[in-house]
Amino acid sequence: MSFRIKSGERFVFIGDSITDCGRRMEFAPLGNGYVSMVVNLVTAKYPERRIRWVNKGISGDTVQGLVERWTEDVVNEEPDWVSIAIGINNVARDKQSGRNLKECLQDFRDSYKTILERTKTETDAKIVMSEIFYLKEEDEISRDLNVDAYNEIIHQLATEHQAILVPLQQTFKKAKTKRPDYSWTRGDGVHPLPTGHTLIALTFLNAMKW
């Protein structure tokens, strides 16, 4: 199958700090993380495809935060594609809150489902959804975050809404297993180093049949 994104299409990335990467400050407009890497690689390989790229990542955001800004940052952009990479802040804050995990997961599902359904009803965009990734071995403060339960929801919702799934957790775990002495994140198991961003970009592009 050929590369999924066609010339003339508008592609919106939305998420938290991993997507943001300074796109609202010194690295405007695309940031200096995986989003800019994706854009550069696609442009280099398919220079004839005039794709319009938009980065709407906001550091610290949660899926509930996406619900609040979905109209302005997604619907109003009239995208042909929307890529959603969200959830690690939900995982961390839910654990800190002491709330019942079942309730937290239900809130996560409900909010995520809201943005997916709005995308289907208010835009013509195709949807890409990324797994939450976390490398416990690299977390220097040993938070022992449980991303699996949240990723299970992401998998279920991706199937229900015919979304393309980007298997980031699986990919990072495989990379860490193959190279356990190498650091992919900035000592917290979450925020990628440049090679980690490269791994995200390549995993995303593989899902897009690059």
Distances (CA, A) of 178 to 94, 171, 182: 31, 11, 9
User: Three-class SS of residue 94?
Assistant: helix
Domain ranges of the chain: 10-204
- Say which residues have a Cβ less than 8 Å from residue 161's Cβ, sequence separation at least 6: 116, 117, 120, 127
**pLDDT tens readout for residues 143-187:** 999 999 999 999 999 999 999 999 999 999 999 999 999 999 999
pLDDT tens for each residue of 15-51 = 999 999 999 888 899 999 999 999 999 999 999 999 9
Q: How confident is the model at residue 110 (pLDDT cuts 50, 70, 90)?
A: very high
The pLDDT assigned to 137 comes to 96
- Per-residue pLDDT reduced to its tens digit, 52-95: 999 999 999 999 999 999 999 999 999 999 999 999 999 999 99
Contact present, 38 and 103 (Cβ < 8 Å): no
Considering only the top CATH level, what class is 10-204?
A: alpha beta
Q: Which of 109, 94, 100 is nearest to 145 (CA)?
A: 94
DSSP code of 147?
A: -
pLDDT value at residue 184 = 98
- Written as six digits, the tokens of 108 are 């996560």
Query: Which ranges of the chain would DSSP assign to H, the alpha helix?
Result: 17-20, 34-45, 63-73, 88-97, 101-122, 148-160, 168-178, 194-207
Three-class secondary structure of residue 70 per DSSP:
helix
- Given a cut of 80, whether residue 1 has pLDDT beyond it is no
The rounded mean pLDDT for the chain is 98
CB-based burial of residue 32 (10 Å sphere; 0-12 exposed, 13-18 middle, 19+ buried)?
A: middle
- Tokens for 65? 């935060």
